[in-house]
Amino acid sequence: MLTLSDQRLTIEAIESLASGEFHIQLDENPAYRARLQAGVDFLDSLLAQEGVIYGVTTGYGDSCVHAVPSELVPQLPVNLSRFHGCGMGEAFSHRQARAIVAVRLCSLAKGYSAVSIPLLSMLVNLLEADLMPVIPQEGSVGASGDLTPLSYLAAVLIGEREVTHNGKRYATAQAFRQFNLTPLKLRPKEGLALMNGTAVMTALACEAFKRAQYLCLLGAKLTAMAVVALKGNAFHFDQKLFAMKPHQGQAQIAALIAKELAQDELPRNSSRLQNRYSIRCAPHIIGVLQDCLPWCREFIENELNSANDNPLIDAQGEHVLHGGHFYGGHIACVMDTMKAQVANLADLFDRQMALLTDPKFNNGLPRNLSAASEERAAINHGFKAVHIAMSAWTAEALKNSMPASVFSRSTECHNQDKVSMGTIAARDCLRVLTLTEQVFAAHLLGVTQAIECRLRAKELEEDALSPGLMHIREQVLSVFDIVEEDRPLEPTLREVSEKIRLQAWSLEHE
């Protein structure tokens, strides 16, 4: 159970809420609740004095110059949610929707958005009932925050649009009746507080971070397997060498690779003193992403734990603070950087597979890694098409690595004249991760096939493999039969890719 107040949350907490591992409740501490109520009361006092407050007594965006009559103020947040109901594209997954709701709840719970306790409680209720808004992926430029996608959350709170539950879609009103939930009547500013923030891009960034972190660790294992399969030079990963170029993440990856190669029985009869770059420089390539992860975490978690709507309400100091905290530049930076480095991993393992499948470079492995008998070798092509597919996935990943943040568009009557594109960057990053996970899945099957070929040829003994590599090999062989006769590998590739996406392959042996 996570008790939410204004404490700092981590990427892992959001991911646990997204997967349903955590339950959540709002802190009942009287001092915390009094601070939340103070923001609401201060806003009410300004309204009673006919104060001018952006998005409360004015129109939105460029329309802020238009005053809203007091009798129409209660209708304004409803209209905000409705006119932003123009999202397109596929909906975010149910899990991603849970992360989006959790991230928005975390920000609003900081107490600077003048939202009521019933609104926060309703967000908690949605998570606990597992009723998630159906949120189209397309339509956000990342400033003023994720207005259009978050309008689908605001609409659900007032009983409109659709939710998902147990894999099915329901009209929100129907689902609320079933779960005995009463739609909210949004207070002044609450529509704006819900929508004018970076929750969508930040939720996607939390997911992307965990997937990228896992690929770094798995990439070290895959490289070690490739070194074994190619009879490569294990001394390329010596820690004395990496002490001389002290990038911490790079050294960590080299150490992980070296750990799996510290076996005296490994073959050393490579004809090359220095392996090709995709083997020798693997720590330098994977290590760039590994070294990026600490500052990526800092940026993501700072955004996660920020109050990022506009205006913000300082009840204690009695200030209404108009600003631009909805701008998603930090998330855009993280996602643009991450997708480029992840795409580099796809390229790395596509190149390693090229070495494994080509008899000019694979140090005696069968052509295309086919394990067919000598009599049937002429008609069997092993991993030939798999490597072509890997090249296709890699090319698409590299194409999608163009930074989205440089494509700002002036919009909304030139009020939003410089925008972050953070949500597009995050969506791009997840697509690049998916493509790269497919490359990893194919490579995992390929290096396992290569090692099995060495074992069958008596060029390698099982006890020469480190416990870590044996552990990975056993997991792969539990779902994959060595390719002796050509067969479609799509079902296995899909299964292995999904396991990688969910970080289900155990990377540590017991």
In the predicted model, is pLDDT for residue 266 greater than 70? no
According to DSSP, the residues that pair with 457 across neighbouring strands are: none
In the predicted model, is pLDDT for residue 89 greater than 70? yes
Average pLDDT score, the chain: 94
| Active-site option among 54, 170, 214, 277 | 54
SS3 248: helix
Q: Which range among 34-38, 75-79, 91-95 shows the weakest confidence by mean pLDDT?
A: 75-79
In the predicted model, is pLDDT for residue 179 greater than 60? yes
Most confident of 38-52, 66-80, 292-306, 316-330: 292-306
CA atoms within 13 A on the CB side of 82: 9
Query: Residues, the chain, total?
Result: 510
Q: Higher-confidence residue: 56 or 227?
A: 227
Angstrom CA distances, 348 to 281, 284, 297, 446, 473, stand at 9, 11, 24, 14, 21
Tokens 């409360």 correspond to 56
Strand pairing category for 312-314 and 319-321: antiparallel
- What residues does each domain of the chain span? 2-197, 204-308+325-409+417-501
Q: Higher-confidence residue: 108 or 415?
A: 108
Structure tokens at 393: 């996935």
- The residue-averaged pLDDT of 461-484 equals 94
Burial class (CB in 10 A: 0-12, 13-18, 19+), 182: exposed
Supply the pLDDT for residue 338: 98
| C-alpha–C-alpha distance, residues 224 and 405, integer Å | 36
Strand pairing category for 312-314 and 2-4: unpaired
pLDDT, tens digit, 9 for 90 and up, residues 438-465 = 999 999 999 999 999 999 999 999 988 9
Strand pairing category for 312-314 and 136-138: unpaired
Supply the pLDDT for residue 29: 96
| C-alpha–C-alpha distance, residues 333 and 331, integer Å | 5
Q: Which CATH class is domain 2-197?
A: mainly alpha
According to DSSP, the residues that pair with 165 across neighbouring strands are: 168
Answer yes or no: CATH 3.90.1010.10 is held by domain 204-308+325-409+417-501. no
Tokens 């001389």 correspond to 244
Angstrom CA distances, 238 to 244, 263, 342, 437, stand at 11, 13, 25, 28
Q: Which range among 35-44, 62-71, 124-133, 491-500 shows the weakest confidence by mean pLDDT?
A: 62-71
Q: Which residue, among 153, 147, 178, 124, has the nearest Cα to 3 in the 3D structure? A: 124
Structure tokens at 100: 């989006």
pLDDT, tens digit, 9 for 90 and up, residues 306-348 = 999 989 999 999 999 999 999 999 999 999 999 999 999 999 9
In the predicted model, is pLDDT for residue 510 greater than 60? no
In the predicted model, is pLDDT for residue 271 greater than 80? no
Catalytic-residue membership of 60: no
Tokens 């290569």 correspond to 450
Angstrom CA distances, 178 to 129, 165, 173, 313, stand at 11, 11, 9, 36
pTM of the full predicted structure? 0.95
Residue 468 and residue 260 in contact, taking contact as beta carbons nearer than 8 Å: yes
In the predicted model, is pLDDT for residue 264 greater than 80? no
In the predicted model, is pLDDT for residue 365 greater than 70? yes
In the predicted model, is pLDDT for residue 270 greater than 80? no
Tokens 């609003």 correspond to 108
According to DSSP, the residues that pair with 168 across neighbouring strands are: 165
Q: Higher-confidence residue: 298 or 57?
A: 298
Q: In sequence order, which residues have a C-beta less than 8 Å from that of residue 395 and are 6 or more positions away? A: none
- The residue-averaged pLDDT of 109-114 equals 95
Supply the pLDDT for residue 111: 95
Structure tokens at 306: 């920020």
Q: Which residue, among 132, 131, 136, 133, has the nearest Cα to 91 in the 3D structure? A: 136
Supply the pLDDT for residue 483: 97
Supply the pLDDT for residue 269: 58
Amino acid identity, residue 118? P
pLDDT band at 70 (very low <50, low <70, confident <90, very high): confident
